[in-house]
Amino acid sequence: MKFGATLLASMVTAAALAGAHAEPTLLWETEGLATPESALPVPAEGFAYVSNVAGAPLEKDGNGFISKVSLADGKITEREWAKGLNAPKGMALSGGKLYVSDIDKLVEVDPKSGKIIASHDAPGSVFLNDVAADGKGHVYVSDSSTSTIWRLADGKLEKWAEGENLNYPNGLYVEGDKLIVAAWGAPGTSGQSPKAANLLQVSLADKKVSNLGDGTPVGNLDGIEPDGDDYLVSDWVAGKVYRIGKSGKAELLLDLGQGTADIGYDPASKTMLVPLMKDNKLRAYKMQ
């Protein structure tokens, strides 16, 4: 018994030193969605917004919508809460409005009624993707096809940064004076080895782009959410969810299959929401 206890203690110590985390625990799974791409939890109100492409990601068919899903049990409380969209993807709340990317537009939705109240064109954009907001009320949206980041400021949507050094950005998160970017990688690199892309950081002051950590490629990255000093990041192509540290080192948390899209996270309850686009499902996991 003494040997067993010593061995167990050694294993626990080794795991702690390695920075290993226990696998997230599945809390619930929701079916009945339509190509869900992004989940945005609103813990204070007990629900999450879920964007539904409801068709092809680039098709302007008017079928797209946003659902409301209960954070407690995953029940869809309002399936088509906001309608009239084409292929909605990333979302962010800022200044009392819900901002949603929709192919080549950034759309404003009234969080109380679900009505579209404004739409901002992004001329020349192809695949507007994730959305993030800073403390000054500026809203950023990535165009993964043209390697561009747009910014809405003072009611005007303009190109803010562009170039291959952004490595075709997807997920966005504003952290202090930097924009953290989960890059997808250049066209033709999906699913390739070595992997396509890693996390980047862009200075909000001068738009300087640099690797987060050592720049080791991870994959075709999609959603990004902070969790303490680390980031939870999804890989759409590989269907995986990683924890990536400031060093750039990635730890695999979940392997769910292709279509693992723009995750959402509530740090207070340590609940991660994972849209599964190809399965028309949303899953909630308890992080350890």
Report whether pLDDT(17) > 60.
Answer: no
Under a CB-based contact definition with an 8 Å cutoff, are residues 86 and 77 in contact? no
Predicted local distance difference test score (pLDDT) of residue 5: 38
Structure confidence by residue, pLDDT tens digits, 93-140:
999 999 999 999 999 999 999 999 999 999 999 999 999 999 999 999
Mapped onto helix, strand or coil, the DSSP state of residue 188 is coil
Structure confidence by residue, pLDDT tens digits, 229-279:
999 999 999 999 999 999 999 999 999 999 999 999 999 999 999 999 999
What gap in Å lies between CA 151 and CA 144, rounded to an integer? 14
**CATH code for position 68:** 2.120.10.30
Confidence of residue 197 (pLDDT cuts 50, 70, 90): very high
Confidence of residue 194 (pLDDT cuts 50, 70, 90): low
Predicted local distance difference test score (pLDDT) of residue 18: 42
Predicted local distance difference test score (pLDDT) of residue 271: 98
The domain of 21 spans 2-286
Give the residue with greater pLDDT, 15 vs 174: 174
Predicted local distance difference test score (pLDDT) of residue 196: 82
Confidence of residue 190 (pLDDT cuts 50, 70, 90): confident
Residues 6+ apart with CB under 8 A from 111: 93, 96, 97, 98
Count of domains forming the chain:
1
Under a CB-based contact definition with an 8 Å cutoff, are residues 78 and 66 in contact? no
Under a CB-based contact definition with an 8 Å cutoff, are residues 119 and 82 in contact? no
Confidence of residue 16 (pLDDT cuts 50, 70, 90): very low
Q: What is the 3-state secondary structure (H, E, C) of 111-140?
A: CCCCCEEEEEECCCCCCEEEEEECCCCCEE
Confidence of residue 20 (pLDDT cuts 50, 70, 90): low
Structure confidence by residue, pLDDT tens digits, 130-162:
999 999 999 999 999 999 999 999 999 999 999
Predicted local distance difference test score (pLDDT) of residue 1: 34
What gap in Å lies between CA 141 and CA 92, rounded to an integer? 10
As a whole-number percent, the residues of the chain with pLDDT over 90 amount to: 88
* 254: its two tokens: 């979940």
